Amino acid sequence: MTTDNPPVATRRRRRGVDRTPWGTYALLAVFMVIFLFPVYYLFVGSFESPSQTLDGLRAAIPSSLTLANYHSLSQTFFSSTITGSLRGFYTVSTLVSALVVAGGLIVNSLAGYALARMQFRGRRFLLLLVIVLVIIPFEAIAVPLYYMLNGLRNTLIVQALPFVGSAFSIYLFYTFFLNLPPQLEEAARIDGAGPWRTFVQIILPNAKPAFASVAILSFIQIWSSYLWPLMMTSQPNVYPLSIAIGNLIKQQSTPNYGEMFAFGVLLVVPMAVFFVVFQRWFIRSVASLGVKG
Amino acid sequence: MGLTMLIPGIVLIIVFMLIPFFFSIWLSMHVEIVGSTVPVRSVGWMFYRHLFSDPIFRGIFLKSLENNGIFALVVVPVQTGLAMFLAILVNRHGAFVKFCRTTFFLPVVFPMVLTSLIWKAILAPGPQGMLNAFLHAVTFGHFAPQYWLGNIHLALPSIMLLSIWQGTGFQMVIFLAGLQGIPHTHYEAALIDGAKKWHLFRDVTLPGLRNTTIFVVMVTTIFSLRVFDQIYLLTQGGPINATSSVMYLAVSQAYVANNVGQGAAISVVLCFVILLMSLIQRQVLRERVD
């Protein structure tokens, strides 16, 4: 990994060759406005009355703000058993994400470690299998999975199950462990530690970056997932947040954008907080993807 | 025994990835109804023949394939180019630059459901819609409001627009890592040779980003082939199939129309297209090494 190096531009600037021209700042500013505007609109719109949210350019600069959308959301969604409750959607999304991220970290790191460090028959075949499965996107196997797991419809477990074991995560762990110096484990082996103890005591403390990357990437994926819960849930008590919002988007003939925006803010806030706190790790985990190839 | 470490992960990917992959081939050759006791009936290649020769279905399938193709032809170069451009812009220090980097990456953590919601409001029809109002203002009233998601010519470009907004930051970060992997001695050597800025880009940056670019192009192409959420949420494939995609068709066949075999046949075609493209990518990457 080379991402820890300072950017090229700095080194050149230090030599007095390169200076950031104002044109670059101007371009950056333009793109920043384009990229930030939808986010800004979401947050501002969630504090506007229904007539304000969809009111041409005036919606971007509201004359007054209100908490009415959040208030009505809480009224509709905290208690209702027919439409499901907001607390329920949050609980489902959180439990499913926790199961996928935590379970995935355990099983995929173990498999990646065994593939990287152990010699056994069929190792090359399994490695090839993992690489081929990395290529196949979930969407392409969604239909047969839907048929296979139909008996588990409307359960929490079925929303998480297909995503716990992940060829992609196994591959990321595998490449990481491959690059760890083998001397780390030799000392442990001399002390007579078995592979499990070696893994827990020696490997885990040295693999924090890999665990962080996999955790973040799988969290983004599972928290955002829509197609699978769409096929697997038809009862509001097992809807994750994404399905609840999706239904709101599709059902309303005269959309109340203010209320939908408020709901959207509630969906993105956990992710946004997580992102702001762990921003370095987010960017590093995505950056590490390109290095393979 | 250390090999027990391997078992949970491998068993899970075999059961939930490999078996469904083969099972979809079986499903695509049988008629079956989800949750019913009607016996499964073998129909051979019927569902595949439907795709290419059924007078009604063929039109929808080819239209969806064409939409995926147009989506890829536009989104892949635009998103890759924009991501590379932004990566070069933010590959420097400073508080403002850092803030911009965060801004460009932010949509990546936005679920597609949420992206669809925001853009549904931005693309709302009539003069009240944000985009319509903006274009009306900057053209001093010369722009007539459009029904972005309801117009047969504008619906697909609108879907592309919001997809690019959501996805560019991801590619930008991958390019940023690629840029930082180019040894600065390469730039210095070129500077000593008296290279101009444009030459630096053409002779050092671009070759240095070769493998990163191939990777990004592949990822974006596969993404273009599996696009589903935003179409299901915003247009349901309409108007008149103008935004229907292969995945949308597969899901609406299997899940909405309860025609699992047809949906599976489409999934199998999709799988093979994706595997074929990955093989091509491997081949292109290998040429460089030799």
Tell me, yes or no, if B144 comes closer than 8 A to chain A by beta carbon: no
CATH architecture of B55-289: Orthogonal Bundle (1.10)
Q: Tell me how crowded residue A230 is: count the other CB atoms within 10 A of its CB.
A: 24
Environment class of residue B154 by beta-carbon count within 10 Å: exposed (0-12), middle (13-18) or buried (19+)?
Answer: middle
* pLDDT value for A2: 42
Q: How confident is the model at residue B144 (pLDDT cuts 50, 70, 90)?
A: confident
- Is a pLDDT exceeding 70 seen at residue A253? no
Residue of B103, B175, B255 lying closest to A36 (CB–CB) = B103
Tell me, yes or no, if B250 comes closer than 8 A to chain A by beta carbon: yes
Environment class of residue B178 by beta-carbon count within 10 Å: exposed (0-12), middle (13-18) or buried (19+)?
Answer: buried
Residues 6+ apart with CB under 8 A from B76: B217, B220, B221, B224
Residue A44 within any structural domain of the chain: no
Residue A249 within any structural domain of the chain: no
Q: Nearest CA of chain A to the CA of B45: how many Å?
A: 17
Indicate the pTM of the whole model.
0.87
Tell me, yes or no, if A135 comes closer than 8 A to chain B by beta carbon: yes
Please indicate whether, in this complex, the C-beta atoms of A136 and B118 are within 8 angstroms of each other: no
* pLDDT value for A70: 84
Residue A197 within any structural domain of the chain: yes
* pLDDT value for A10: 47
Residue A205 within any structural domain of the chain: yes
Domain at A237, CATH number: 1.10.3720.10
> What helix, strand, coil percent values describe chain B, rounded to 5?
75, 0, 25
Q: Is the ipTM here above 0.85?
A: yes
Tell me, yes or no, if B139 comes closer than 8 A to chain A by beta carbon: no
Residue A193 within any structural domain of the chain: yes
Please indicate whether, in this complex, the C-beta atoms of A290 and B174 are within 8 angstroms of each other: yes
In 3-state terms, what secondary structure has residue A66? coil
- Pick the range with the lowest mean pLDDT from A17-21, A160-164, A235-239, B127-131: A17-21
- Is a pLDDT exceeding 50 seen at residue A13? no
- Asked whether A142 and B260 are in contact (CB, 8 A), the reply is no
- Is a pLDDT exceeding 90 seen at residue A96? yes
- Asked whether A130 and B13 are in contact (CB, 8 A), the reply is yes
Tens digit of each residue's pLDDT (9 = 90 or more) over A161-211: 999 999 999 999 998 898 888 888 888 888 888 888 888 888 888 888 889
Q: How confident is the model at residue B248 (pLDDT cuts 50, 70, 90)?
A: very high
CA atoms of B235 and B81, how far apart (whole Å): 27
What percent of chain B is predicted at pLDDT more than 90?
A: 36
Q: Nearest CA of chain A to the CA of B240: how many Å?
A: 18
Tens digit of each residue's pLDDT (9 = 90 or more) over B71-118: 999 999 999 999 999 999 998 888 889 899 889 998 988 899 999 999
- Is a pLDDT exceeding 70 seen at residue B5? yes
* pLDDT value for A108: 96
Residues 6+ apart with CB under 8 A from A168: A134, A217
Which residues in chain B are closer than 8 Å to A22, comparing Cβ atoms?
A: none
Tell me, yes or no, if B270 comes closer than 8 A to chain A by beta carbon: yes
Tens digit of each residue's pLDDT (9 = 90 or more) over B10-30: 999 999 999 999 999 998 998
What percent of chain A is predicted at pLDDT more than 90?
A: 32
Tell me, yes or no, if A131 comes closer than 8 A to chain B by beta carbon: no
Tell me, yes or no, if B92 comes closer than 8 A to chain A by beta carbon: yes
- Asked whether B202 and A30 are in contact (CB, 8 A), the reply is no
Please indicate whether, in this complex, the C-beta atoms of A140 and B99 are within 8 angstroms of each other: no
Number of structural domains chain A divides into: 1
- Is a pLDDT exceeding 70 seen at residue A83? no
* Selection from A137-151, B22-36, B179-193 with the highest mean pLDDT: A137-151
* pLDDT value for A12: 46
The structure tokens listed for A207 are 């693999």
Residue-range definition of the domain harbouring residue A141: 86-242
The helix-helix angle for A156-164 and A208-224 (nearest 10°) equals 140
Q: Nearest CA of chain A to the CA of B56: how many Å?
A: 22
DSSP B269-289: HHHHHHHHHHHHHHHHHHHHH
Q: pLDDT higher for B211 or A125?
A: A125
